[in-house]
Structure 1
Amino acid sequence: MDKSSAAAIDKGRYVKIGTFALKIIALAAMLLDHLEGTFPDTFPVALSWTGRIAIPVFMFCVIQGLLHTSNTRKYLFRLYIGSAVMAAGSFILQIIVSEARFQIADNMFATLFLLAVLISLIRTKLALKKKVRLWIIFIVTQMISFLLIIRLQTAAKSCAYLANGLIPNVITNQGSVLFLMLGLLMYAFRNNRLKFSVMYLAYCLLMLASAGFSGFTVQNLFYGNYQWMMIIALPLMLAYNGRRGRSLKYFFYAFYPLHIWLLFLIGNFVQRK
């Protein structure tokens, strides 16, 4: 939400938090989610319910980052480096741990980078010809990366994972097109809290309806297909006060890959016992 929406938010009577606090909350939720995912017999599934707020909140923060950054290129570059480092590090780690019981499949940086690129293409004030040229380059790159990743998946999934981090694709990224669509809708309705809320609630209800195709049962909705629980992220995003707060950007960039790599090593070590 931009300055005008931030001013409206400041008039509200509820807890107000900046992007720093939002990132800390999302980071904690993500860690709990990954703990349950790595050790499902040790931690309750409720931790993964909490983890559903992570990606929506991080996407929200990326949108705010784009709106307030003084250098869009550097912002995009940092996200891309995060995606590439995450992919390369995970690829090397999985080669070293050759008999791993489970693989690393997540690369949230790739999704956030793609969202940032799409929003930047929409927001650019370049001349029409240059803007069209950029869209053509993006689409062609996406077609090439998709064909490459699909080809690699039949040969070696670890190579496909690496390719997806180096050349992020809108279809094969974490969350696929669905999360990118949500991010673009969040950007489109950023200036109106009511429309933003209705859009987000509708999206979560569609997720719930989709999950219901496998049965509206407690087992399915709470232990199988519970992505709809991302609805609990809405109050956090509505509490945004338009300010950044403290800046520990490199901490967030480092924490994501490091905690996944550490859990990968611990998880595989424990399962070998």
Structure 2
Amino acid sequence: MNKSKLQIIAMLTMLCDHLAKVLIYPVIIEQHSIAWLQIHRLYLRSYDALTFVGKITFPIFAFFIVEGFFHTKNLSNYVKRLLDLAIISEIPFDLATSGKLINLKSQNVIWTLLLGLLIIVSLQNKKRWFGLILSLGLLVVAYFLKIDWGVYPGVLLIIVFYLIRGHKKLLPLGYLLMLPEVGFLSGVELAFVLLALYNGNKGRIGGYVCYIFYPLHLLLLGILQFILI
């Protein structure tokens, strides 16, 4: 498995997750009674199946944030790209998840990835005490921003991937970190199996495909949800 293949899988599983949460749940499940849903169980089963598959997404993107940190030739540009994407994605995310153009109750997952990256950068500071203080400050910011996947397990998973980088045998530590939050046999297990197959090669697809896909598919799903409801 090279980076491109894993990112394609992550984008497809993300699409599955958002189809369930942006379309199936608000358009169908919320609009019908429990009795109706018991008769039409296919919708509930589809929702469960799609969200199960969707759990694969975040660990893969979190893993490649760390890989990007070690491989980027220009760290400031890498941070800037994530910041730009987080800002651009906020309205599509809010529209898809809340039906509003602006919703301060939660922020999109790119903020989670960005804050995780900034903490890694902080931990690399030559003055370790300063880096630790800065990292703690960023964790506080992440908590109050109410980012997708949260400080735990979201940001902490990125830190774990940073600490264990180069040691594939320690990948299960990432899974154990997430286990109390997601539960056993939640779909997350599949992400760590795929990451264990990563061969270190980049592949043919550039990172910009992921950058475009995230806000674009959320915007389209949000508009479709608005039309259907």
TM-score (ref. length: structure 1): 0.66
**Aligned mates of 1:200, 1:55 — CA distance in 2:** 12
Q: Is the 8 A contact 1:204 1:231 kept in 2?
A: no
Q: Relative to 1, partners in 2 of residues 1:201 and 1:86: Cα closer, same or farther, differing over 3 Å? A: closer
Q: Relative to 1, partners in 2 of residues 1:185 and 1:264: Cα closer, same or farther, differing over 3 Å? A: same
Q: Is the 8 A contact 2:122 2:135 kept in 1?
A: no
Letter in 2 for 1:183: I
CA displacement, residues 247-269 of structure 1 (integer Å, 9 cap, x when unaligned):
32222111101111111111121
CA displacement, residues 140-162 of structure 1 (integer Å, 9 cap, x when unaligned):
6776xx5xxxxxxxxxxxxxxxx
Q: Give the RMSD, CA atoms, in angstroms.
A: 3.1
Given candidates 151, 155, 175, the residue that maps to 1:177 is 151
CA displacement, residues 131-183 of structure 1 (integer Å, 9 cap, x when unaligned):
82x6656656776xx5xxxxxxxxxxxxxxxxxxxxxx245211111111122
The Cα shift of 1:195 comes to 2.0
The Cα shift of 1:114 comes to 0.6
Given candidates 10, 15, 34, the residue that maps to 2:18 is 34
Q: Is the 8 A contact 2:82 2:114 kept in 1?
A: yes
Q: Relative to 1, partners in 2 of residues 1:263 and 1:51: Cα closer, same or farther, differing over 3 Å? A: same
**What are the within-5 Å matches in structure 2 for residues 80-159 of structure 1?**
80-88=83-91, 105=106, 107-124=108-125, 126=126, 128=127, 132=130
**Aligned mates of 1:137, 1:120 — CA distance in 2:** 10
Gaps spanning 5+ residues in structure 1: where?
1-16, 147-168, 212-220
Is 1:48 the counterpart of 2:51? The answer is: yes
Letter in 1 for 2:120: I
**Aligned mates of 1:25, 1:140 — CA distance in 2:** 33
CA displacement, residues 24-79 of structure 1 (integer Å, 9 cap, x when unaligned):
00000000111111213454420110000101100011111111111111111111
Given candidates 39, 62, 72, the residue that maps to 1:69 is 72
Q: Relative to 1, partners in 2 of residues 1:71 and 1:268: Cα closer, same or farther, differing over 3 Å? A: same
Is 1:207 the counterpart of 2:169? The answer is: no
Q: Relative to 1, partners in 2 of residues 1:115 and 1:103: Cα closer, same or farther, differing over 3 Å? A: closer
The Cα shift of 1:106 comes to 5.4
Question: SS of the counterpart of 1:241?
Answer: coil
Identity of aligned residues (%): 25
TM-score (ref. length: structure 2): 0.77
Q: Is the 8 A contact 2:17 2:51 kept in 1?
A: yes
Match of residue 37 from structure 2: none
Gaps spanning 5+ residues in structure 2: where?
29-42
